[in-house]
Chain A
Amino acid sequence: KQEVTQIPAALSVPEGENLVLNCSFTDSAIYNLQWFRQDPGKGLTSLLLIQSSQREQTSGRLNASLDKSSGRSTLYIAASQPGDSATYLCAVARIQGAQKLVFGQGTRLTINP
């Protein structure tokens, strides 16, 4: 059974800092991994999708890496801004049953002005 863990559960940093969010998964037989952002009371917004054959993806100030063999992914946010405050979720699509995204519990990020 695939389990996804995100540490820390909450993180508070001052504006302008670079930061890293962590995601680990137990089964390395994955199809892809996605990072999402969720604002309070809202749905999920896809940030980055990394296919299993890729090592990283970049979008603006965001960079996501994937190390399938160790079961880890990181989301790097450069030059954080108050508008980055949200809950960040990672989700894994397994090779068997790839349509079922398995989510971590999320990291609640607060950027202080």
Chain B
Amino acid sequence: GAGVSQTPSNKVTEKGKYVELRCDPISGHTALYWYRQSLGQGPEFLIYFQGTGAADDSGLPNDRFFAVRPEGSVSTLKIQRTERGDSAVYLCASSLRGAMDTQYFGPGTRLTVL
């Protein structure tokens, strides 16, 4: 079946603008994760959904970042008032049930804030 998909693949925006990044997980996976990866670094955890609820949002850097998963499938990561420091690759992953299962990653969205 299809893997995790993310759109757009690239997003260029100006400082101060609002952006939305979309993640479509593997069908049937109840757990969904967002990570952020800066150049030359490993991914850093942002938020974890179990079903529709954000079970752990402790990795979100500040209140400009918000994510939703209203129907327990597709998730959207929203960033308000973007800053140049937000430039990174945003990765989404899903797993069948949760932490005990392998996380399958999407190709990522490369966000560039000018």
Contacts and interface: CB of A to CB of B under 8 A. Distances in A.
Contact of A99 (B41, B43, B98, B102): B98
Contacts of A100: 45, 48, 56, 58-59
Interface string A64-104: 00000000000000000000000001010100011111111
Given A31-B100, A43-B91, A103 B42 contact: yes
Contacts of A58: none
Contacts of A43: 4, 91, 105-108
B12 interface: no
B102 A103 contact: no
Contacts of B100: 31-32, 98
B103 interface: yes
A18 interface: no
B1 interface: no
Chain A contact surface mostly: strand
22 contacts: A4-B42, A31-B99, A31-B100, A34-B102, A36-B105, A42-B107, A42-B108, A43-B106, A44-B43, A44-B93, A44-B105, A45-B105, A91-B42, A93-B99, A99-B31, A99-B55, A99-B56, A100-B45, A101-B35, A102-B45, A105-B40, A105-B41
Given A43-B4, A100-B59, A105-B42, 11 more contacts: A32-B100, A34-B102, A36-B105, A43-B108, A44-B91, A45-B105, A100-B45, A101-B33, A101-B35, A101-B43, A104-B42
Interface of A: 4, 31-32, 34, 36, 42-46, 49, 89, 91, 93, 97-106
